């Protein structure tokens, strides 16, 4: 009996050792795997419509910014998986106060689908500002160019290209020194609503005016619905025209055509679309993939950046459309009977679509997923990552009134359509995160309000704020949803013993958001909860989170001071 028990104990210990060893081997295997892979999206948060160029061993990428200011965020990278925000193409209010209007632009208007290119020592960005006139119900499509010697700027004032219809332009510098504008427009006689047409015309680089004949190139491959976002490339003497098609939702796709002449005719790739998720389940981890840009590495390997929407919550996410990276391999058509036999880019050769985990482009690198953000406002200028909704009123905020703090004045009503208001936001980059902010607020005017806001649009947001009431100061959580006319109060509480300072905290996971607060030296107290689908992106941009203030009187002397704002993100795969 004793011997049998000893034998049993030995095998139990051995079994435990094997289990521990197995677990350790699994962890080590996952670690090794992570060292050789990167995670998509490579640029988390609302960074749609990516365009990229390479200068030497450095890559530069620009994205759409729509109604936000500063506009046209520019990132750089040496390895394609770690990106640094280095500047914005639109960084001066004067750039956005004329033909390019970001003062009172409508939501989802503004800056659409830029292209970034480098030629003979200059960086160029070409893009569209979409401005709708509410009174006349007409829309301006202002296509313009910015140029700079460095991606950090300063960038030039907008150079408007007269007579260029449509949106999403591309700039192409050919080997013979000629410069071409590639645009989209509605055909003169469309076959159906939403049909798009890609056109080409030469540009005079001395004054950036359109010259010569306009050439109509292509109406798309698979129906031609919303044929837009063109990019033109030249490889081995062949011109390749890449476009987006299907609209920026579940049927989004990337199409390609080729020609031996820049003016066409262009032959559609028989295997279109070359990248899409339209054939996959609506519940795929990413969907709405499209609006891409191709580029080559120094060693002539090719890749593609494209937008996609993560399906974190109810087939969507707060972040909206984000930038992803996929490998590309060129293959020649195998049909002997066909003339000409083009080489075509095969995107994601092993899977045909965007994968969340992928082999690193450069094997001597590691993706460092650090999406945490912290600001104590100790500098004289704002951090690059802060965004305003439209060009801000400089009388609405200050970094010098109380050094070491961000001061927001209660002199404007917040969340009014087509206006700037006193809100600064950073892009939400993950569905799971923690957010905290300290606020000092002692209002004298009953219309004053301050706190933190979580915003998708002027009419789609959530506020966690302090405001005066008949019983003193109250803490409220309010939401404005797209399907409701009025703001709804989710929770409200009188702040007993409030002495001028409050700390806000949000704990977000995939199922729910928890809102907490702390006054004086107490511990954080749970205020309320909401479901996680309350702020899913429904437009072109993703969610922004940050401090705000509001008031009805422009002469109000009330203000709120903010400090110690931080976000700590939980990345989904490699860093878990």
| Model confidence pLDDT, tens digit, residues 239-260 | 999 999 999 999 999 999 999 9
φ, ψ of residue 214 in degrees (nearest 5): -95, 130
Distances (CA, A) of 481 to 228, 301, 317, 465, 490: 30, 46, 15, 17, 12
| Cβ atoms of residues 501 and 69 within 8 Å | no
pLDDT at 7: 41
Instruction: Check whether the bond before 152 is cis (ω within 30° of 0).
Output: no
Q: What sign results for the dihedral spanned by CA atoms 554, 560, 562, 568?
A: negative
Which residues lie across from 308 on neighbouring strands?
Answer: 322
DSSP state of 133: E
pTM over 0.75: yes
Distances (CA, A) of 236 to 260, 301, 505, 524: 10, 14, 56, 63
pLDDT at 24: 44
d(C-alpha 420, C-alpha 103), whole Å: 7
Instruction: Collect all residues with Cβ–Cβ distance below 8 Å to 195 and sequence separation of at least 6.
Output: 186, 187, 219, 224, 225, 227
pLDDT at 32: 42
**How many helices (DSSP H) and strands (DSSP E) are in the chain?**
1, 39
DSSP state of 35: H
Q: List the structure tokens of 526.
A: 């749970």
d(C-alpha 270, C-alpha 212), whole Å: 32
Catalytic site includes residue 49: yes
Distances (CA, A) of 186 to 166, 213, 224, 494: 7, 18, 11, 56
The Cβ-side half-sphere exposure at 29, using a 13 Å CA radius, reads 6
pLDDT at 69: 98
Tell how far CA 14 is from the center of its chain: 52
Reduce the DSSP state of residue 385 to 3 states and report it.
coil
d(C-alpha 366, C-alpha 360), whole Å: 8
Q: Enumerate residue ranges in the chain where pLDDT < 50.
A: 1-4, 6-8, 10-12, 14-33, 572-576
User: DSSP strand E in 470-537: where?
Assistant: 472-480, 488-494, 501-508, 512-519, 525-531
Angle at alpha carbon of residue 190, lines to 188 and 191, rounded to 5°: 150
- What is the SS3 string spanning 296-357? ECCCCCEEEEEEEEECCECCECCCCEEEEEEEEEEEECCCCCCCCCCEEEEECCCCCCCCCE
pLDDT at 553: 77
Give CA torsion, residues 272, 274, 276, 277, to 10 deg. 90
Neighbours of 56 (CB within 10 A): 8
Q: What sign results for the dihedral spanned by CA atoms 251, 290, 321, 417?
A: negative
Q: List the structure tokens of 535.
A: 């702020």
Catalytic site includes residue 561: no
Name the residue among 7, 46, 114 with its Cα closest to residue 541.
46
Distances (CA, A) of 3 to 6, 11, 14, 107: 5, 13, 16, 79
Catalytic position from the list 228, 245, 393, 563? 228
Neighbours of 339 (CB within 10 A): 6
d(C-alpha 341, C-alpha 461), whole Å: 53
> Which class for 265: exposed (0-12), middle (13-18), buried (19 or more C-beta within 10 A)?
exposed
Angle at alpha carbon of residue 313, lines to 307 and 314, rounded to 5°: 100
φ, ψ of residue 52 in degrees (nearest 5): -140, 150
pLDDT at 555: 80
Q: What sign results for the dihedral spanned by CA atoms 324, 329, 335, 339?
A: positive
φ, ψ of residue 535 in degrees (nearest 5): -135, 35
d(C-alpha 83, C-alpha 75), whole Å: 6
Residue with tokens 């569905």: 431
φ, ψ of residue 537 in degrees (nearest 5): -60, 130
């Amino acid at each position: 009996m004793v011997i049998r028990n000893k034998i049993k104990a030995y095998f139990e210990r051995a079994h435990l050792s094997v289990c521990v060893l197995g677990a350790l081997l699994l962890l080590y295997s996952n670690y090794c795997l992570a060292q050789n892979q990167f995670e998509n999206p490579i640029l988390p948060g609302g960074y749609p419509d990516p365009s990229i160029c390479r200068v030497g061993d450095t890559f530069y990428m620009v994205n759409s910014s729509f109604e936000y200011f500063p506009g046209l965020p520019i990132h750089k990278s040496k390895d394609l998986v770690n990106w640094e925000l280095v500047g914005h193409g639109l960084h001066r209010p004067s750039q956005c106060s004329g033909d390019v209007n970001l003062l009172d632009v409508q939501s989802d208007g503004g800056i659409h689908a830029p292209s970034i290119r480098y030629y003979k020592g200059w960086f160029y960005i070409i893009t569209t500002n979409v401005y709708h006139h509410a009174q006349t119900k007409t829309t301006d499509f202002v296509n313009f160019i910015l140029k700079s010697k460095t991606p950090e700027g300063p960038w030039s004032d907008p150079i408007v290209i007269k007579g260029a219809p449509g949106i999403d332009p591309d700039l192409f510098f050919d080997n013979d020194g000629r410069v071409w504008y590639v645009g989209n427009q509605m055909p003169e006689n469309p076959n159906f609503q939403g049909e798009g047409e890609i056109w080409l015309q030469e540009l005079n680089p001395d004054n950036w005016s359109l010259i010569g004949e306009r050439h109509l190139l292509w109406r798309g491959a698979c129906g031609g619905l919303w044929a837009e976002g063109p990019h033109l490339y030249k490889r081995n003497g062949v011109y390749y025209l890449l476009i987006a098609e299907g609209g920026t939702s579940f049927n989004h796709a990337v199409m390609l055509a080729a020609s031996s002449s820049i003016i066409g005719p262009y032959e559609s790739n028989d295997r279109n679309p070359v990248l899409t998720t339209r054939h996959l389940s609506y519940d795929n981890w990413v969907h709405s993939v499209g609006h891409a840009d191709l580029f080559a590495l120094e060693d002539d390997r090719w890749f593609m950046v494209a937008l996609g929407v993560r399906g974190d919550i109810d087939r969507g996410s707060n972040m909206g459309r984000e930038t992803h990276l996929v490998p590309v391999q060129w293959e020649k058509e195998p049909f002997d009977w066909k003339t000409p036999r083009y080489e075509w880019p095969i995107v994601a050769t092993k899977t045909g679509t965007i994968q969340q985990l992928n082999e690193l482009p450069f094997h001597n690198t590691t993706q460092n997923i650090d999406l945490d953000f912290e600001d104590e406002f100790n500098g004289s200028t704002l951090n690059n990552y802060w965004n305003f909704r439209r060009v801000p009123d400089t009388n609405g905020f200050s970094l010098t009134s109380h050094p070491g703090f961000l001061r927001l004045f209660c002199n404007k009503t917040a969340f009014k359509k087509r206006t700037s208001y006193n809100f600064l936001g950073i892009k939400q980059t993950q569905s799971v995160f923690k957010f905290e902010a300290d606020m000092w607020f002692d209002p004298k005017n009953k219309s004053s309000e301050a706190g933190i806001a979580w915003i998708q649009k002027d009419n789609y947001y959530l506020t966690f704020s302090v405001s005066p009431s008949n019983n003193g100061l109250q803490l409220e959580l309010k939401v404005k949803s797209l399907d409701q006319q009025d703001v709804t109060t989710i929770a409200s509480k009188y702040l007993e013993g409030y002495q001028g300072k409050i700390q806000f905290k949000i704990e977000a996971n995939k199922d729910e958001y928890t809102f907490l607060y702390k006054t004086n030296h107490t511990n954080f107290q749970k205020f309320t909860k909401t479901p996680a689908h309350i702020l899913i992106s429904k437009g072109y941009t993703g969610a922004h989170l940050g401090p705000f203030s509001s008031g009805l009187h422009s002469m109000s002397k009330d203000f709120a001071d903010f400090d110690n704002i931080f976000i700590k993100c939980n990345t989904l795969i490699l860093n878990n």
